[in-house]
Amino acid sequence: MFENFFTFRTQRHRVSFEIIRKRDFPQLDRQAHTYLDYTGGGLYAIPQIEKHQKLLRESVFGNPHSINPTSSLSTALVEETREKVLSFFNATDEYDCIFTANASGALKIVGECFPFDEKSAFVLSKDNHNSVLGIKEKAQKKGAKVNFLELTPDLQIDKSDFLKALEEVDHYDTKLLAYPAQSNYSGVKHSLQMVREAKEKGFYVLLDAAAFTPSNLLDLKDVPADFVCISFYKMFGYPTGIGCLLVRKETCCKLQKDYFAGGTVKVASTYDQTYALHQNHEKFEDGTINYNQIPALKIGLEYLESIGMPRIQLQIQKNSRQFTGALSDIRHQNGSPLIKIIGPSDMEVRGNTIAFHILDSLGQRIDLEQIEQDALRFNISLRTGCFCNPGADECYHQLKRPEVKELLDAIEINNVTKIQQLKRKRGAVRISVGMITNEKDLMTLLNFLNNYLLADARNAA
């Protein structure tokens, strides 16, 4: 149905990424913008927007919860998109796709519906987004045992600690492991082999793939996690406000839902609190789904496929290596490094995200807020802070419980001076590259960083 709205020509002649940038993302160079925040959000291609606009202009869509013509059309396109998502991740047979408001919404379903109790255990890495850490609160309130996986000094999951953690909770009836395929803080790509290793020990596995899938192809035949959260706008920029939870069909029945809304219930009554829920994805898609925007997901996935995900992955790896190498080479006049890159030196376990500190010639960190303000003048989009990942930040800066508590206490009483003082011990600068990142972007970044060399040289004089 509506194939002409979704089909992109496969680029058989391998159009260069520079041409793709000029043709499909002209807004970047038109505005002289250096975009280095792909982990924060992907960019949409102009052809995506045009195809979706054409679909909306030439169609009439209605609420899917009916069989009238507009409702049937919406339902058909939503289900086509659902199948496309499953196919893209090689998950057609074993998984169901639950559309959510975002990746956090997908994780919330797991947190609220996983059967945590006194006989269950939740094991999660310290490197996790806040949206995963929030599940810990649900687990603890229901009496579950909670264990954190430690990180090595270069922020990889400690393999010996991982195996030890699995053994420690082996006697629990129900066990859930949660970790990110790629860190949104450091860019570390954690071993996907841990999914199978945990499942062999009787664990259910929640894989946060939000930071991984924009630059890597995820094959769920090879990585059979029970729950996988996806952020589509991080993959292809448009639309925002839609994510999904991919759930293994054999695991879906473990999720226990105690709330229902329109669209999720087969029948409900005011007598005896009687109700019966739909099964599979319909059980979890509360209310009216975003039926006008969901078809745009298929358009976005088709766009990526027209270029080729393996090719995109190689290009992003190349860009990441180039940027990491260039940053590592910058030196002050006294030979000390300007940049301290966070995470492993082995590029095989790094993704498209580069977190770092900018140092003066004495090795002291430049203030993060100042860096972000300076970047504005160069029209560079980068990010500073902890990136909603306090655990990775605490591990990197070797912060202990008393130091963290001191900051929380200062925030509680709004001690601004103390907060600013303590925050200087935390955070980093983060850039992230995409397939259309080019040498011009690198040169702009290097020119921006050169200002810190010049300022330091002036101060030394």
Show which residues are catalytic.
Answer: 388
Joined tokens for residue 229:
């959260």
DSSP 166-212: HHHTTTSSEEEEEEESB-TTT-BB--THHHHHHHHTTEEEEEE-TTT
- Residue 301 to residue 291: CA distance in whole angstroms: 17
Angstrom CA distances, 97 to 50, 118, 186, 434, stand at: 26, 30, 29, 26
Joined tokens for residue 91:
């998950």
Task: With CA atoms as reference, report the closest residue to 374 among 437, 455, 458, 436.
Answer: 455
Quickly count: other Cβ atoms within 10 Å of residue 345's Cβ. Answer: 10
**Distance between start and end Cα atoms, the chain:** 70
- Residue 392 to residue 326: CA distance in whole angstroms: 24
- Residue 74 to residue 82: CA distance in whole angstroms: 12
Give 3-state DSSP helix, strand, coil % of the chain, rounded to 5.
45, 15, 40
Quickly count: other Cβ atoms within 10 Å of residue 313's Cβ. Answer: 17
Residue 270 makes CB contacts below 8 A (sequence gap 6+) with none
Q: In DSSP terms, which residues pair with 381 in a beta bridge?
A: 35
